[in-house]
Amino acid sequence: MENGKKWSPIFKERMKEHYDEMKWLYSELYANDMNAFSYFCDMLYHFFEERSRSLKKIDKQRLEEPDWYKGNDLLGMLMYTNCFAGNLKGVKSHIPYLQECGVNYIHLMPLLESPEGRSDGGYAVSDFKKVDPKLGTIEDLADLADACHKKGMSICLDFVMNHTSEDHEWAKRAKAGEKEYQDRYFFFDSWDIPNEFEKTVPEVFPQTAPGNFTWCPEAGKVVMTTFYPYQWDLNYRNPTVFNDMTANMLNLCNHGVDIIRLDAVPYIWKTLGTNCRNLPQVHTLTRIMHMACDIVCPGTLLLGEVVMEPSKVVPYFGTIEKPECQMLYNVTTMASTWNTVATGDVRLLRHQMGQVFALPKQYTFLNYLRCHDDIGWGLDYDFLGQFGISEVAHKKYLNDYLTGTRYYSDARGELYNDDPTLGDARLCGTTASLCGIEAAEYERNKWKLERGISLDIMLHAFLLTQSGIPVLYSGDEIGQLNDYTYHDDPLKSEDSRYLHRGNFSWEEAEKRKKSNTREGRIFKAINKLVEIRRSYEVFDSKADAWIIDTWNDHILGIGRYYKGQKMIALFNFSKEDETAWVNEPEDYYDMLTGKPRPAKGVGIPGYGFAWLLTSFTEKGNPVKSK
């Protein structure tokens, strides 16, 4: 280990645990550049020393309970700071509301300084050390984190590591011709090499931002821009980039961020002749970042944004001995859920959930119904093909149904990145509007409203039944509808994702207190489900989970077992009343009513669900005993 370094005993102990592996990986990646590695180690010590006493106390608590995030008590909420409360101080003032929602983990969407109109929603960062002035300051972020920690709440923040804004200081100096800073990106004197890249690298946004390179007139060179022309890809082959970006991440951790969401992590290593996705070096970098956190801020978790099916994202967890990300998104389940809403057929969802349940229990997924992004239809078309379903036609059906184009659909969404040539498009919309609540209220149709609210609540029950961490999208707790005002904003009108990124309506939130309102009914129902989830260990992520055959392609059946508790969960994705043809021998009780309810030929109303529980360790009713 680094001889002669005047490091504190705790830091030395943590470094000793990881030093050999970290040095070996770093040396392999950066051709034995020991000067860069020495700088990296000193940088880690700097942030260790800078970490506050209160954050080190949290680190100690989490080291003593390393599975603190894997139980059944975490509930997340995803929000845009400006939409939810104007600024960071506003979010702090609304902590009591978040507690009322049962939320103890808030994910703040990108809030670092970005140029207006060229930020991709905050994903083009111009300064990693500054918060967007409209939202507050970096001190406000630390103050919010401290207030949350005192209430037992955690904060998650996006770390946009693949690229910077073209307005970042590095980019500005690169434009001015400074080679040191051009080397932090991918600059080329001609289109020869970029054209070779284009032969194997897919386009992320072929309609709105075609190609992976942009001409930079100031430098007179071509620069790699995988996502948008104003987002310049960072060159992680340069150790200075990795050192400085890791420092930027640790700076956020030292301002109280508990969960770092690694944005677009599969893209961070580029090699000519490949698709520049999921390359082995990505895992090396992520592993080193994990060790950096273990050394500096071991209470911090890494959340990987990897948009692939669960079986393919698993490598980003690393191994038990050499972990990478502690948490990953369950993207496929979200898309399969909306496929099931549109078709009423649970076969794909049943197949996909079976694959998730087969994964080792130490893997922690974030589960959600909606988020800030669109819904992409990356479904298992090989599986669907056995039922005569073709990809292009099926995608068109899903989009037609969920935009309300089909006459029998009450869903109200909008297309995103429509590609008529390929017959492909993604979908936008809030949970409530996609469930038909918006159309029902517009038509003042009470029975349609009942149906839409039932579907909304059933979907949240399904969300809370899954192992992992459930995350609500801000506004879903009151059934907030689409916001069409974005069409009138020139900075937003070209991006239909703003349909579900509207300002949170505090006026509507007040209606949550009235049980006869849409807001009140959904809020109360979700709160009750969250309370039940926290009360029973059968919802713990360590529980066994499996698919139950209901002999009905409209009803999804899930079984869970943990510490003597067995749960049968049934979800009807049909508008019509259906029967789950199950035949479980034990004595079950309805978890919502507390009354006996046999798990035999269970009738489920249209868009309804059932949570049934039995106990092998308690006598009598395990529901009433809580």
64-73, 100-109, 145-154, 300-309: which range is least confident on average? Answer: 300-309
305 is catalytic: yes
- What is the C-alpha separation between 156 and 108, in angstroms, rounded? 6
- What is the C-alpha separation between 156 and 253, in angstroms, rounded? 10
Per DSSP, 336 falls in state H
In terms of Cα–Cα distance, which of 315, 342, 344 is closest to 328?
315
Q: How many CB atoms lie within 10 A of CB 432?
A: 28
Residue 420 has pLDDT above 90, yes or no: no
pLDDT digits (tens, 9 = 90+) for 452-480: 999 999 999 999 999 999 999 999 999 99
- What is the C-alpha separation between 229 and 297, in angstroms, rounded? 35
Average pLDDT, the chain: 95
- What is the C-alpha separation between 523 and 518, in angstroms, rounded? 8
Considering the entire predicted model, what is its pTM? 0.95
CA torsion angle for 113, 475, 529, 299 (degrees, to 10)?
10
pLDDT band, residue 9 (cuts 50/70/90) = very high
490-499, 505-514, 604-613: which range is least confident on average? Answer: 490-499
pLDDT band, residue 383 (cuts 50/70/90) = very high
Q: How many CB atoms lie within 10 A of CB 616?
A: 11
Residue 625 confidence (pLDDT):
61
Long-range contacts of 34-37 (CB under 8 A, 24+ apart): 36/239, 36/240, 36/243, 37/239
Residue 244 has pLDDT above 90, yes or no: yes
With beta carbons less than 8 A apart as the criterion, state whether 427 and 398 touch.
Answer: yes
pLDDT digits (tens, 9 = 90+) for 528-547: 999 999 999 999 999 999 99
Per residue in 224-245, is it b (16+ CB within 10 Å) or e — as a string? bbbbbebbbbbbbbbbbbbbbb
pLDDT band, residue 418 (cuts 50/70/90) = confident
Three-class SS state of 500: helix
- Compute CA distances 552 → 572, 599, 608, whole Å: 9, 15, 14
Residue 614 has pLDDT above 60, yes or no: yes
Residue 146 has pLDDT above 90, yes or no: yes
Residue 207 has pLDDT above 90, yes or no: no
Provide the β-strand partners of residue 127. Answer: 113
Angle between helices 34-50 and 280-296 in degrees, nearest 10: 40
Q: Which DSSP string corresponds to 386-428?
A: TTT--HHHHHHHHHHHHTT-STT-----EEEEEETTTTEEEEE
Residue 103 confidence (pLDDT):
98
Give the rounded distance of the alpha carbon of 359 from its chain centre. Answer: 19
pLDDT band, residue 119 (cuts 50/70/90) = confident
The angle at the Cα of 205, spanning 348 to 159, to the nearest 5 degrees, equals 85
Domain boundaries, the chain: 543-615
Sign of the C-alpha dihedral computed for residues 138, 144, 147 and 153 taken in this order: negative
In terms of Cα–Cα distance, which of 51, 258, 82, 62 is closest to 155?
258
Residue 420 token pair: 């008529």
Residue 4 has pLDDT above 70, yes or no: no
Which residues have a Cβ under 8 Å from the Cβ of 287 and sit 6 or more positions away? Answer: 25, 318, 322, 323, 324
- Looking at the chain, the whole-number percentage of residues with pLDDT higher than 70 is 98
In terms of Cα–Cα distance, which of 240, 233, 236 is closest to 197?
233
- What is the C-alpha separation between 548 and 553, in angstroms, rounded? 12
- Could you write out the three-class secondary structure of 526-553? HHHHHHHHHHCHHHCCCCEEEEECCCCC
- What is the C-alpha separation between 36 and 29, in angstroms, rounded? 11
pLDDT band, residue 306 (cuts 50/70/90) = confident
Residue reference for tokens 């993604």? 426
Residue 556 token pair: 């999804």
Residue 515 has pLDDT above 80, yes or no: yes
- What is the C-alpha separation between 151 and 174, in angstroms, rounded? 44
Spot the catalytic one: 59, 158, 167, 263.
263
Mean pLDDT of 268-295: 97
Residue 308 confidence (pLDDT):
74
pLDDT band, residue 320 (cuts 50/70/90) = confident
Which of residues 167 and 360 earns the better pLDDT score?
167
Residue 624 has pLDDT above 90, yes or no: no
The one-letter amino acid at 138: I
With beta carbons less than 8 A apart as the criterion, state whether 30 and 40 touch.
Answer: no
Mean pLDDT of 36-61: 97
Residue 5 confidence (pLDDT):
77
Residue 422 confidence (pLDDT):
67
The angle at the Cα of 104, spanning 341 to 501, to the nearest 5 degrees, equals 50
- What is the C-alpha separation between 158 and 123, in angstroms, rounded? 9
Rg (alpha carbons) of the chain, rounded to whole number: 25
Per DSSP, 493 falls in state T
Residue 626 confidence (pLDDT):
57
Residue 419 confidence (pLDDT):
75
pLDDT digits (tens, 9 = 90+) for 51-63: 999 999 999 999 9
Residue 154 confidence (pLDDT):
98
- Looking at the chain, the whole-number percentage of residues with pLDDT higher than 90 is 91
Mean pLDDT of 116-131: 92
Spot the catalytic one: 132, 158, 305, 578.
305
pLDDT digits (tens, 9 = 90+) for 581-593: 999 999 999 999 9
CATH C-level class of 543-615: mainly beta
pLDDT band, residue 240 (cuts 50/70/90) = very high
